[in-house]
């Protein structure tokens, strides 16, 4: 979804590191790209990943399955928001 909106995600930033050049904008302003990347990572990617990971970790350790799940989701959202915003400061990369 983020890629269709012209946003750089953490994954595409890693794949494209050292490749190509920055595109002439992504059809959005800097603020739009940064906000979009922040929302994409902090809502769509990290919490749905962090919360089940915590639940499985709890299960493996014999703890209550809900122990720390909310915190893992919040921490994932914060970390994802920072990564998503940062990835879009420089603009979208093109392959080349």
19-35 confidence digits (pLDDT tens): 554 444 445 677 877 88
List beta partners, residue 94.
21
C-beta separation of 36 from 7 below 8 A: yes
What's the confidence (pLDDT) of residue 62? 97
Higher pLDDT, 61 or 30: 61
Give the highest mean pLDDT range of 1-15, 20-34, 64-78. Answer: 64-78
pLDDT band with cut points at 50, 70 and 90 for residue 14: low
User: In the predicted model, what is the mean pLDDT of residues 53-68?
Assistant: 97
The separation between the first and the last C-alpha atoms of the chain, rounded to the nearest angstrom, is 22
Nearest to 28 by CA among 19, 20, 37: 37
Higher pLDDT, 94 or 33: 33
Higher pLDDT, 95 or 45: 45
């Amino acid at each position: 979804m983020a890629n269709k909106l012209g946003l750089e995600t953490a994954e595409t930033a890693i794949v494209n590191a050292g490749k190509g050049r920055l595109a002439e904008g992504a059809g959005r302003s800097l603020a739009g790209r940064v906000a979009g990347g922040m929302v994409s990572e902090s809502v769509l990617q990290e919490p749905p990943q962090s919360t089940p990971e915590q639940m499985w970790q709890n299960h493996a350790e014999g703890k209550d399955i809900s122990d720390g799940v909310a915190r893992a989701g919040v921490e994932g959202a914060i970390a994802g928001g920072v990564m998503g915003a940062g990835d879009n400061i420089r603009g979208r990369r093109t392959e080349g």
